Chain A
């Protein structure tokens, strides 16, 4: 096995007329990891995923998925044999029954796992003779996940996989993602559910306005990011805190709140030197990191 990333893009861009959906994206998704792809609506996540799968052509730049060039139709087709994709709205053929669509999907993948298919059919309680059109959104999501998990992919690309699932379904999904990853499957998924991301992801990428704003392991984010709240006896000088690692500064009267991506010790030391009356350093969760990252832009 090579150490080449599962997904690698270089200056990948997509424009629709004058609107830039994705701008010079340099993305590297490591093998055997669960990577979360976060961003607001319209940030360019789905467009990026579509480019990776060859559904839309990049305006410029290049990329590979599992070592196959995404812009080459033949290589892209070969890559899709090894990749499972679940799209945002879980679109499936409404005129097929659950059994028919499973049989249909199975025919494309020689190493389809019948045992996984049966287990998930039972766990998800999918009615095999019901038409897909008559399934609830949650059922359709479960069926789409079954079709993805049973094909023994090397890479799972999931666009909002938990959308439409109830809490039990979400729990089951998260456990499956972790077990898939433990089996050596690389997982790349977009989500708005940050609490879920925080539970399972190893690595986080944040896309905003088509640009990659954050690309780091979750553990390192937890380790480095801090909220520092300061209180001074006088209006604090913001300029004194504009140092490396300080992502944002908000001042309200004698209070100052800093959001830092590192260098927290230097900030607190400076606050003490400026006679801050209160210095409070708190850990921040992924939700706050995400919000600060996209708010800055």
Chain B
């Protein structure tokens, strides 16, 4: 039932984000050609449009997973319910683990559903997308992007304020992204990994299939470490 609790806690946030992101992506793909990007032609630039869609989705998705990473037992302490939760016969590691599990499922859904909507909208508009392209974009999004969710979970394990925690999490997430664009070597730029900039063919705008596996592995490892650190923080914390 901890799954159920985690779901009820995040349900409103998740469904709002899901509807918003899906609507934005669907609207963008349906209306972009001709309406939003003058000069682009449907037949020639559709794959480029999908690449741009991934940029938009990445931005919204990071925003979404940071919000989904908020909450948890430290926030419960601030609103007073932590004593009820911690008096249950469940370990703190399990409390965090289940919350993370639900969050990851929601994060995946937050990528899959908008891309599915884009796939459906494109098919209806007579421009079917290769399913493998959708799969590759999703793999990059989730494989490279879960680290942002992990950052949010760690921040929410350290900071309890309703507004402070998301502010810090957005800061911690966005600042390195901005700095890495300017100062870090290209291969360390996680944003480019997630958006597909490392893998896209700059002429056809199709993902090549030669994905940066090492980068994905490094990003997933970093996410794992951050989530493990979150569990340790919560286990050591006093309530």
Residues of A within 8 A of B (CB): 50, 53-57, 73-74, 77-78, 80-81, 83, 85, 87, 89, 91-93, 95-96, 100, 103-105, 107-109, 144
CB-defined A-B contacts under 8 Å, sample of 15: A50-B239, A54-B86, A56-B238, A73-B235, A80-B87, A83-B87, A85-B83, A87-B87, A91-B79, A91-B84, A93-B9, A93-B84, A95-B8, A100-B4, A104-B5
Q: State the 4 A-B residue pairs at the shortest beta-carbon distance, nearest first.
A: A91-B80, A107-B1, A81-B89, A87-B83
Q: Fill in one digit per residue for B49-83: 1 if any A CB lies within 8 Å of its CB, else 0.
A: 00000000000000000000000000000011111
Chain B residues, Cβ within 8 Å of A78: 89
Q: What distance in Å separates the Cβ of A122 from its nearest Cβ neighbour in chain B?
A: 23
Chain B contacts of A92 at CB under 8 A?
Answer: 81, 84
Instruction: List residues of chain A with CB within 8 A of the CB of B89.
Output: 77-78, 80-81, 108-109
Set B8, B90, B235: member contacting A96, Cβ < 8 A: B8
Closest Cβ neighbor of B12 among chain A residues: A95
Instruction: Contacts A56-B238, A104-B4 given; indicate if A91 touches B91 (C-beta within 8 A).
Output: no
Q: Give the contact-size bracket for chain B.
A: 20 to 34
Is residue B88 within 8 Å, beta carbon to beta carbon, of the partner chain?
A: yes
Known contacts A95-B9, A104-B4; A77 and B90 CB within 8 A of each other: yes
CA of A54 to CA of B92 in the docked complex: distance in angstroms? 11
Cα separation A96 to B81 with both chains bound (whole Å) = 12
Question: Chain B nearest CB: distance from A73 CB in Å?
Answer: 7
| A73/B239 in contact, CB under 8 A | no
Whether the Cβ atoms of A108 and B84 lie closer than 8 Å is no
Residue of A nearest to B238 (CB): A56
User: With a CB–CB cut-off of 8 A, which chain B residues contact A105?
Assistant: 88
For the complex with contacts A53-B86, A91-B80, 10 further pairs of A-B residues with Cβ separation under 8 Å are A53-B87, A57-B238, A74-B91, A81-B89, A91-B81, A91-B83, A96-B8, A105-B88, A107-B1, A108-B1
The interface residues of chain B lying within 8 Å CB-to-CB of A144 are 84
* B82 neighbours in A (Cβ, 8 Å): 55, 91
A55 and B239 form a contact (CB under 8 A): yes
In the bound complex, what is the Cα–Cα distance between A77 and B87 (angstroms)? 8
Check A73–B91 contact: CB distance below 8 A: yes
Q: How far is the CA of A56 from the CA of B86 in the complex (A)?
A: 11
Which partner residue on chain A sits nearest B93 by CB separation?
A73
Q: Kindly identify which residue among B83, B90, B91, B235 contacts A55, using a CB–CB cutoff of 8 Å.
A: B83
Residues of A within 8 A of B239 (CB): 50, 55-56
**B80: nearest chain-A partner, CB-CB:** A91
Task: Specify the chain B residue showing the minimal Cβ separation from A73.
Answer: B91
CA distance A96 to B4 in the complex (A): 10
A93 touches B83 (CB 8 A): no
Contact B87 A85 (CB under 8 A): yes
Instruction: Give the docked Cα–Cα distance between A91 and B88 (Å).
Output: 13
Complexed CA–CA distance, A91 and B73 (Å): 13
Contact A89 B80 (CB under 8 A): yes
With A and B bound together, what is the CA distance between A85 and B87 in angstroms?
7
In the assembled complex, which residues on chain A have CB atoms less than 8 Å from the CB atom of B5? 93, 96, 104
Residue of B whose beta carbon sits closest to that of A132:
B81
